[in-house]
Structure 1
Amino acid sequence: MTNKIVLGQFTDTGSLLHRLDPRTKLLSLIVIMMSFLLLQNFTSYVAATAFVGMLLLTSKIPLRLFARGLKPLLLILIFTFLYHVLLTGDTVIWSWSQIKLNQEGVVNGTRIVWRIILLVLLASVLTATTKPLILAQGLEKLLKPLSKLGVPTEAFSLMVVIAIRFIPTITQELDRIILAQQARGYDVTSVTRLKRVFAYIPILVPLFATTIQRAEQLSFAIDARAYGTGKGRTSYNQLEFKRSDFVAGGFTIIFVFMMLIIRIYI
């Protein structure tokens, strides 16, 4: 399962996206995600997909890794699609007993699932091309003005990055527990899919216990190094905007304007 998780794992390929300032990537990600709210017709979805695909190719990370990263979301995507197909809309295109498929539900379900996939791929590109500590530093710099209002921006940035980094760590722990259960003769994969939901309960209990234990160990390590809240702490790597950052920001602005034009005129 570990190799299926892309979100939270850094993969160094030396691409242009890897060399961008983390603040550029964070701001661009936020703006692009907000522009996805403008997606309405087929043309806009195709344009957004082409843009995300361009980012995936620019990262030089094999596309199969991003495809594997979507597999854990498969059940969520299927449930979301079926929910809209069966429970939204009035134009019935197929029915059997009490089950009815609605045309509006198919369209809405496809849009929502398509949008979720694009958002997950964007987030995966960010974490795969940015080291966790660099990402925390960039987030801290962006939130710096809030520190004047008493917001602990340093602690918040560290908390967000640790939470993202813990995703692959938790999956590794889950793999270890499943292997230990299989060694004791308890194989979850041997039961049916319906029973497998309840079969995971004995696995989730030790998973939560080890996750809490890891969190406590991490907090003790931070305290032992006198990190504190991180306020006033300097950094060895100084962030600096380069020409490539302005070019990337320009492409982001062009994409947003293109989404607006498609929304208004198409």
Structure 2
Amino acid sequence: MSNTLLMGQYWETHSIFHRLDPRTKLVSMIIIMLSFLMLDTFVSYVVATLFLAGIMWLSKIPLQVFWRGMKPVLFILMFTFLYNALSTKGNIIWSWSVIEVTDEGLLKGLRFVWRIVLIILLASILTLTTKPLTLTHGLEKLLAPLSKLNVPVEQFSLMIVIAIRFIPTIMQELDRILLAQKARDYDITTLKLPKRIFAYIPILVPLLLTVIQRAEQLTHAIDARAYGNGKGRTSYKQLTFQRVDYQAGGAVILMTVILLLLKIWGF
């Protein structure tokens, strides 16, 4: 299960995105995500999808990785689609008892799911092409002006990256617990869906305890290395903007302008 997650994992392919400055990737991701929130028409969704497909192709990450990473959220996407399809009023195309499916609901559900998929894939590209320490360094540099306001930038950056990195760790612990139960001849995967959902509830307690132990071990490791609050620490690798960073920034700005014009013109 841990191999099916996109967030928090790094995939080395030596692509152009791996060579980008982490600050470029962070700012670009935020701008693109905000532009995705402006998607309104079918043409804008297609343009955004083609743009993201180009990014995925340039990252040289196999499509199987993205597909495996989307499997854990398929249930959420299905629930989102059905909720919007059944709760939106409009032209009824199918009904049964109190359940009604409308044209507007199907369209709204499709838009929500499409947008969520685009945002998940975009965020995953950031973590798949950036090492955690490099991401921490880039986030510190971006938030450096806030340190003048006594904001603990170093601690905040480290906290964010550790939280992202802990996602696959938690899933690995969940796999270990499930394997231990399977060794005792209790396989949750063989249960039917309603029973399977309730069977995961007792697992939360040992999983939570294990995560807390991992967090304590990480705290001791950070203290043993005299990290402190991280303020004033230097880095061996210095971040510098290169030509490819300016080119990537220009492409992001151009894409944002195109989506904004599509929204204004209503195409």
TM-score bracket, shorter-length normalisation: over 0.9
1:204 aligns with 2:204: yes
> 1:94 corresponds to which residue?
94
Using the TM superposition, give the Cα deviation of residue 160 of structure 1 relative to its aligned residue in structure 2, in angstroms.
Answer: 0.3
Using the TM superposition, give the Cα deviation of residue 190 of structure 1 relative to its aligned residue in structure 2, in angstroms.
Answer: 1.4
**Aligned with 2:202: secondary structure?**
helix
**Aligned with 1:256: secondary structure?**
helix
Using the TM superposition, give the Cα deviation of residue 99 of structure 1 relative to its aligned residue in structure 2, in angstroms.
Answer: 1.1
Identity of aligned residues (%): 62
Using the TM superposition, give the Cα deviation of residue 164 of structure 1 relative to its aligned residue in structure 2, in angstroms.
Answer: 0.4
Distance of 2:17 and 2:171 partners within structure 1:
26
Distance of 1:261 and 1:87 partners within structure 2:
31
| Cα deviation 1:212-258 (Å, max 9, x = unaligned) | 11001101111111101100000000000000000000000000010
Using the TM superposition, give the Cα deviation of residue 90 of structure 1 relative to its aligned residue in structure 2, in angstroms.
Answer: 2.3
> 2:139 corresponds to which residue?
139
1:219 aligns with 2:222: no
> 1:186 corresponds to which residue?
186
Distance of 1:67 and 1:51 partners within structure 2:
18
Using the TM superposition, give the Cα deviation of residue 177 of structure 1 relative to its aligned residue in structure 2, in angstroms.
Answer: 0.6
Distance of 1:16 and 1:106 partners within structure 2:
38
**Aligned with 1:241: secondary structure?**
coil
Bigger shift: 44-53 or 182-191?
Answer: 182-191
> 1:40 corresponds to which residue?
40
Distance of 1:260 and 1:200 partners within structure 2:
44
**Aligned with 2:130: secondary structure?**
coil
**Aligned with 1:201: secondary structure?**
coil
**Aligned with 2:94: secondary structure?**
strand
Q: What amino acid sits opposite 2:16 in the alignment?
A: L
Bigger shift: 186-195 or 11-20?
Answer: 186-195
Query: TM-score normalized by structure 2?
Result: 0.98
**Aligned with 2:213: secondary structure?**
helix
> 2:105 corresponds to which residue?
105
Q: What amino acid sits opposite 2:170 in the alignment?
A: I
**Where does the alignment leave 5 or more consecutive residues of structure 2 unmatched?**
none
Using the TM superposition, give the Cα deviation of residue 54 of structure 1 relative to its aligned residue in structure 2, in angstroms.
Answer: 0.5
**Aligned with 1:93: secondary structure?**
strand
1:119 aligns with 2:119: yes
**Aligned with 1:38: secondary structure?**
coil
Distance of 2:202 and 2:3 partners within structure 1:
23
**Aligned with 1:262: secondary structure?**
helix
**Aligned with 1:50: secondary structure?**
helix
RMSD: 0.7
**Aligned with 1:100: secondary structure?**
strand
Distance of 2:195 and 2:87 partners within structure 1:
26
**Aligned with 1:124: secondary structure?**
helix
| Cα deviation 1:197-226 (Å, max 9, x = unaligned) | 111112221111100110011011111111
Distance of 1:89 and 1:118 partners within structure 2:
26
Query: TM-score normalized by structure 1?
Result: 0.99
Distance of 1:151 and 1:112 partners within structure 2:
35
Distance of 2:216 and 2:248 partners within structure 1:
39
> 1:233 corresponds to which residue?
233
Q: What amino acid sits opposite 1:159 in the alignment?
A: M
Distance of 1:58 and 1:212 partners within structure 2:
38
Bigger shift: 87-96 or 244-253?
Answer: 87-96
Distance of 2:95 and 2:219 partners within structure 1:
55
Distance of 2:217 and 2:143 partners within structure 1:
27
Distance of 1:51 and 1:212 partners within structure 2:
40
Distance of 1:18 and 1:62 partners within structure 2:
15
Q: What amino acid sits opposite 1:5 in the alignment?
A: L
Distance of 1:209 and 1:108 partners within structure 2:
40
**Aligned with 1:81: secondary structure?**
helix
Q: What amino acid sits opposite 1:198 in the alignment?
A: F
> 2:74 corresponds to which residue?
74
